[in-house]
Amino acid sequence: MSRKCLILACGALAAEIVALRKQLGLSDGETELQCLPAEFHNTPSKIAPRVDEILTERRQEFDQVLVGYGECGTAGALDAVLAKHDAMRLPHAHCYEFYAGSAQFAAITDAEIGSFFLTDYLVRNFDRLVIGGLGLDRFPHLRDTYFSNYRDLVYLAQTDNLALQEQAQIAAGKIGLAYVFRRVGYGDLAPFLASAGGKEAAAHV
């Protein structure tokens, strides 16, 4: 009997999880990926109820559930849902920490507490999620309200993509921050997904 795993994740991780499934050799027969809207990043109170709804409906279909979220500002609500459904999540505060790894993330924020983080997904969607999401397209004078306490825009890159690096630099300019680049790869997401079906993760890509 095959051991099937549901990977229930934030939509912002979709491209990375698809890439990692391929790299780790996780077949469609072994894993299924279902994503929640990436926009829940701005409304974390919606994460736990939606995860609960999905797992209430589908948990019995799977032997294992891996939840592609960190704590993500859910104030314990997500952990309560995961305990209820015997599912596990990444043991980090958020994706910046699991991509960078806890030690590197702490080092970055210790060096500069005013660090504003982007991932590949956020660079791609910067104008929609950051400029539009914060209303800076309609109210550009709010830039200081949001960012006056920040100094650096830190791009935590999952892939080697020069176009994204250029976009990230432009993004830093749009919000008036200094640009910092860190090539972190998939970080702790890789070994986490590798635990689906008992696979071992390769070295971080």
Partner 1 sequence: MADDEIILRDLNDDDLVDQMKDDLYDGLADEVHEGTQILLERGWDANNILSEALVEGMRIVGVDFRDGILFVPEVLQCAGAMKSGMELLRPILAATDSKASLGKYVIGTVKGDIHDIGKNLVGMMLEGAGFEVIDLGINNPVEKYLAAIDEHRPSILGMSALLTTTMPYMGVVIEELDKRGILKELPVMVGGAPLNQEFADAVGAHSYGRDAAISAELARALVGRNS
Interface residues toward partner 1, by CB under 8 A:
44, 71, 73-76, 93, 109, 113-114, 134-136, 138-139, 142, 145-146, 149-150
Nearest to 172 by CA among 193, 140, 204, 147: 147
At its nearest, how many Å lie between partner 1 and the CB of residue 39? Answer: 11
Is the Cβ of residue 20 or residue 81 nearer to partner 1 in the bound state? 81
Is the Cβ of residue 62 or residue 116 nearer to partner 1 in the bound state? 116
What DSSP character marks residue 201?
P
At its nearest, how many Å lie between partner 1 and the CB of residue 62? Answer: 28
At its nearest, how many Å lie between partner 1 and the CB of residue 143? Answer: 11
Is the Cβ of residue 59 or residue 143 nearer to partner 1 in the bound state? 143
Task: Give the Cα-Cα-Cα angle 166, 170, 172 (nearest 5 degrees).
Answer: 115
At its nearest, how many Å lie between partner 1 and the CB of residue 119? Answer: 17
Is the Cβ of residue 30 or residue 71 nearer to partner 1 in the bound state? 71
Q: State whether residue 31 is helix, strand or coil.
A: strand
- Please tell me the number of Cα atoms within 13 Å of 122 on its side-chain side: 23
Looking up tokens 């972190």 gives: 184
Is the Cβ of residue 27 or residue 149 nearer to partner 1 in the bound state? 149
Contact (CB, 8 A) for 143 and 134: no
At its nearest, how many Å lie between partner 1 and the CB of residue 99? Answer: 16
Distance in angstroms (rounded) separating the CA atoms of residues 135 and 144: 13
Nearest to 172 by CA among 94, 128, 121, 117: 117
